Copies of this chain bind each other. A is one copy, B any other.
Amino acid sequence: MTGRAVVDVCVVGGGIVGLALGRELALRGRSVLVLESRRVGERSAANVAAGMLAPASEVDLSDSRLTEFALAAHAMYPEWCAALARESGLDAGFDPTGTLIVALHHDHLALLERLNEFQRERGLTAERLSAASARELEPCLAPGVIGALRTDDTQVDPRRAMRALVAAIAAAGGVLEDGAEVSALVRDGDTYALTVRHRESEATVHASQVVLAGGAWSARVALPAGLPSLPMRPVKGQVVRVRGERLIGHVVRTPDVYLVPRADGELVIGATMEEMGFDARSTAGMVEHLLREAQRVLPGIAELELTECGVGFRPALRDHLPAIGSLDGAGLFVATGHFRNGVELAPITAQLLADVMCEGRTDPLIAPFTPARFATVASA
């Protein structure tokens, strides 16, 4: 990429949201350029994420509008993965087995009851299980488990999904450039001009539409004058990965830890929530905490190989809701702030933002997530 490129849409950010959007727009016939400043996945939150699609398990943490959005996302996931597999030839590791939320003591049980109330209030179903029934489903659970809740929450493998998206973008005629950092963005008549540093050289990209999808780094692109910048901060998450004999089929969670099993024997254990800025260190205390909590619910983990300690940065806006829509009332869009839910929400974000960009149609599901809500705050 040198000199000058002209495209319909430039997506700034090659995380799972940017990639899903790049694919969606390319499938709709747009000429698409996705720019990622590092290698794809290198610092993406999705690359560290476990990939739980968990509207029911986290309903107590969510704004009701976000729950509604997540449920719609959840409903479209199987078909989205199937389409992605047809386009890319790659399996994203979608697994519908379901989720067990287990209690190890009475405080956990109280949290499960409260979660279950939230679920009923929002019309979600979850099955209350005795300890014996839970262990019938998952025989490796610790003897200390005293009760469980089973939900239909599923999982996908975010790393495999991202590899499939990269292939699908190419198959649909889109272009993905990594190592491409946007240093300036200006309005240029009816289009936008982006200055891009790419492997020692500089290029200018002209695009009719631009989408900022840089996750926790989304607010780093200097915007055209007059636009408010997003109140974005990174929320550090530490995750460890172990590997060996497969001990569980369901995603297993306690209020303290989650365990996400993959078909290939990997088990993802997460995750911390830390206000540490962009501190990318795996720390002794948090790794110990995750491994200890995981062993309390699944003792067999002790004998598995510790293969990876990872750190990701969730993109958190001030209200912990995503920002999806136009920033300037014209061709400059954002799709960011997905916080703990980027993997789950990427497909629906791509589809509904593409509706806005290609058809001018804003689905009511994303209306609450307009970035305009921060304009008010910024000018207050």
Of A244, A285, A294, the most chain B CB neighbours within 10 A belong to: A285
Proximity string of chain A (297-339) to chain B, C-beta cutoff 8 Å, 1 when within and 0 when not = 0000111111001000000000000000000000000000000
Instruction: Confirm or deny: A295 has a beta carbon within 8 angstroms of a beta carbon on chain B.
Output: yes
A288–B285 touching, CB < 8 Å: no
Q: What is the interface size of chain A, counting residues whose CB is below 8 A from a CB of the partner?
A: 22
**A309 / chain B contacts, CB cutoff of 8 Å:** 306
A283 touches B (CB below 8 Å): yes
Bitwise, A266-292 to B at CB < 8 A (1) or not (0) is 000000000000000111111110011
Residues of B within 8 A of A295 (CB): 284-285, 288
In the complex, what distance in Å separates the CA atom of A294 from the CA atom of B286?
A: 13
Within 8 A of B (CB), among A139-185: none
Task: Return the chain B residue nearest A298 by Cβ.
Answer: B284
In the complex, A81 has a CB within 8 A of chain B:
no
Task: Check if A282 sits within 8 Å of B305, measured CB to CB.
Answer: yes
Q: List chain B residues, Cβ under 8 A from A304.
A: 283-284
Known: A306-B309, A309-B306. A284 touches B291 (CB 8 A): yes
Instruction: State how many angstroms separate the Cβ of A98 from the closest Cβ of chain B.
Output: 24
Among B240, B282, B284, B305, the residue within 8 A (CB) of A301 is: B284
Contact B302 A242 (CB under 8 A): no
Q: Are B285 and A303 in contact (CB under 8 A)?
A: yes
Q: How many copies altogether?
A: 2
Checking B283, B285, B286, B306 against A287 with a beta-carbon cut-off of 8 angstroms, the contacting residue is B306
Alpha-carbon gap, A305 to B244, bound state (A): 25
A56 nearest CB across to chain B (Å): 28
Distance (Å) between the CB of A297 and the closest chain B CB?
Answer: 13
For A284, what are the chain B residues with a Cβ–Cβ distance below 8 Å? 240, 242, 291, 294-295, 301-306
- Distance to closest chain B CB from A161 (angstroms): 25
Q: Which residue of B lies closest to A293 (CB)?
A: B288
Please judge, given known A-B contacts A306-B309, A309-B306, whether A287 and B282 are in contact too, CB under 8 Å. no
Question: Is B288 within 8 A of A292, CB to CB?
Answer: yes
* Contact assessment for B283 and A305 in the assembled complex, using a CB-CB cutoff below 8 Å: yes
Hey, which chain B residues are within 8 Å of A286, CB to CB?
302
- A283 contacts across to B, CB distance below 8 A: 302-306
Minimum CB–CB distance from A292 to chain B (whole Å) comes to 5
Which residue of chain B has the shortest Cβ distance to A241 in the bound complex?
B284
Q: Determine the chain B residues whose CB is within 8 A of the CB of A282 once the complex forms.
A: 305-306
What's the minimum C-beta distance from A128 to chain B, rounded to whole angstroms?
Answer: 30
Note all chain B residues with C-beta closer than 8 A to A302.
283-286, 288
Chain B residues with CB under 8 Å of A305's CB are: 281-284
Interface centre among A282, A286, A294, A306 (most CB of B within 10 A): A306
- Sorted nearest first, the 4 A-B pairs with minimum C-beta distance are A285-B302, A288-B291, A281-B305, A282-B306
A-B contact pairs, 14 of them (CB 8 A): A242-B284, A244-B281, A281-B305, A282-B305, A283-B303, A283-B304, A283-B306, A284-B301, A284-B302, A285-B295, A285-B301, A285-B303, A288-B295, A292-B292
Q: A281-B305, A283-B304 are in contact. List 20 more A-B contacts (CB 8 A).
A: A240-B284, A281-B306, A282-B305, A282-B306, A283-B302, A283-B303, A283-B306, A284-B301, A284-B302, A284-B303, A285-B301, A285-B302, A286-B302, A287-B287, A287-B291, A288-B288, A288-B291, A288-B295, A291-B291, A292-B292
